[in-house]
Structure 1
Amino acid sequence: MRAERTIRLVAPAGKQERAALSWPAGEGGGTMFKPIAHNLQRLTRFSGRDTRETFWPYAVTLLVLALAASALVAMPPMLETMAKMQRFAVEHPDQATVRQGPGSYSIQIQGSHPELMPDLHGMLPGMAIILLVFVALVAAAVVRRLHDRGTSGAWALPPLVFLAIGMALTPRLLDARHGGPDLSLLPLLFVNNLLYLAALGWLAILLMRDGTIGPNRHGEDPTPAEVRQRRRSPPRPRD
């Protein structure tokens, strides 16, 4: 009779193990709160490296909160506009068409009535504050994530530059709302928005990529030492 022996190969730790074991010891509570606590404790630390698993839960949480805050800022002007349109429809039924059905309600106004438009100019300060707070909270985390890729934190600057240009030009466009929009600014804003979206998309791609394995010029691999050692070790037979 011939005895058969089964040999299993144990592969080095891969990306999933790097993700699961990349948290500093003793931090946070549950898994969802670890990246949030990790980044809140490092709001002014622009050195070092962070993995995708450390960055994205925190960034997405901030983005959701920023969108919710923006909706709260936009809601009062929008509700005021709806109230104005309803009053206009009652006072000028010949210039308004009201359609109402199950789960739907719309008012169509004929002609040009700038006074019925929402006060977008009044919304800008609130939106700007939300944006500045978001950038301040996420800036260091973005830089550390870029460092984990082995790239410079300067890649985060182009979207901010184009965003600042847009924020500077938009009030000038809205200042002319009573006499009609300043159409001369529209081509510049259009091109600026395209460049902003392109720069933001490229930054998002960089932030979604996995980090370099081992040390780079920005610091040590945030993966725990035992996982790095297993990754370097060749597969070994096991009975």
Structure 2
Amino acid sequence: MLGAIKYNLRSIARFDGRDARQTFWFYVLFLVILQYAVGMALSVPMLGGAMTEAIHGAMNGAAQAELQARIMAKMGSYMRTTMIVSSIVSMVVSLLLVASFVRRLHDSNRPGWIAGLALGLSLAARVFVWIKMDELVDATMLGAGGDMTAAMAVQSKMLAGTLLGWAAMLIVVVFGAWRSTPGPNRYGEQSVRY
């Protein structure tokens, strides 16, 4: 596994040649773990701030509805920063994956432009989130005010961005799982597993 990660990090800008399935998927696993670790690191301050707000409110005798409103308001204040950093991390991970995915496509005798399609869908999903960010933060604030219907209506507008992101992941999973072509193909010799 470490060999696959080192190989892919060294070959981050190399779009020629072929990568075996095992090499590709170990690298994908590394990137997923990295992305979740960053996401968890971002969540801790947000949850800590919300819990601190709840504890202070409870100590001052706030009612349940007021506590919920205070927690949602605090989370809304962190949400924009979290969404920006998460989008940046997601874009970086997508860029780190492109060359490896192209080599994986080559190993199954498929053209590398398919990786460009997946990257384009992923970037479109991020742009969509950036465009709708203010609405989503406002929806959180509406939820803090108790208007959950309006908050859910705004969240349903995020469906298109979510579907774009899932479509990109589906392309990577389907084409990344394709069998390698045995022996040499038009992209070179059979790849070595790491």
Pick the TM interval, shorter chain. 0.7 to 0.9
Counterpart residue number, 1:45: 14
The alpha carbon displacement at 1:131 in A equals 2.0
SS of residue in 2 equivalent to 1:117: helix
Alignment deviations for residues 77-127 of structure 1 (CA, whole Å, 9 cap, x no partner): 121111112222233433359xxxxxxxxxx73x68752334110112322
SS of residue in 1 equivalent to 2:187: coil
TM-score, with normalisation over the residues of structure 1? 0.64
Q: Which runs of 5+ in 2 are unaligned?
A: 143-149
Query: What residue identity is the alignment partner of 1:44?
Result: A
Do residues 153 (structure 1) and 122 (structure 2) align?
Answer: no
SS of residue in 2 equivalent to 1:219: coil
Give the helix-richer structure, 1 or 2. 2
> Structure 2 vs 1, CA of residues 171 and 196 (structure 1 numbering), >3 Å: closer, same or farther?
closer
The alpha carbon displacement at 1:191 in A equals 2.8
Structure with larger Rg: 1
Do residues 135 (structure 1) and 94 (structure 2) align?
Answer: yes
Is the 1:166–1:189 Cα contact (8 Å) retained in structure 2? no
Give the strand-richer structure, 1 or 2. 1
The correspondence for 1:222, drawn from 181, 185, 191, is 191
- Over 3 Å off, 4+ runs: 111-114, 171-174, 176-188
What is the CA–CA distance in structure 1 between the aligned matches of 2:79 and 2:179, rounded to whole Å? 40
RMSD: 3.0
Number of residue pairs the alignment of both structures matches: 182
Counterpart residue number, 2:2: 33
TM-score, with normalisation over the residues of structure 2? 0.77
Residue identity (%): 26
> Structure 2 vs 1, CA of residues 58 and 170 (structure 1 numbering), >3 Å: closer, same or farther?
closer
SS of residue in 2 equivalent to 1:175: helix
